[in-house]
Amino acid sequence: MTVRSHNGSEPDSERIAVLDITDPVLSGMIGSRLRAMYDDLLNEPVPERLLEVLQRCDRSSNPPPERGELRNGT
């Protein structure tokens, strides 16, 4: 990992970490972590409030507007 300031000069109080994500080992580690994080998210239950909103949308008597058509019919 390389640390340098935002303007490329010597490190100071405004340092940024620059990672070489072309490194296959680092890229694999990042990918594994992201997959694990999102796998956990996909296994979370859908909040009841969101389910209610989706059900109301499904029951709506107003069909969605056609592409390019405004909701008020103009």
- Which pLDDT score, from 0 to 100, does residue 18 have? 73
Residue 29 lies in a domain: yes
Per-residue pLDDT tens, the chain, 74 aa: give them.
444 445 555 555 566 677 777 888 888 998 999 998 889 888 889 999 999 998 888 887 666 667 776 665 55
pTM: 0.36
SS3 (DSSP) at 22: coil
Give the helix, strand, coil percentages of the chain, each rounded to 5: 40, 10, 45
66 within a domain of the structure (yes/no)? no
Task: State how many domains the chain has.
Answer: 1
DSSP one-letter code for 69: -
Q: Is the dihedral of CA 43, 47, 48, 54 positive or negative?
A: negative
Q: How far is CA 9 from the centre of its chain?
A: 32
Range of the domain at 22: 2-59
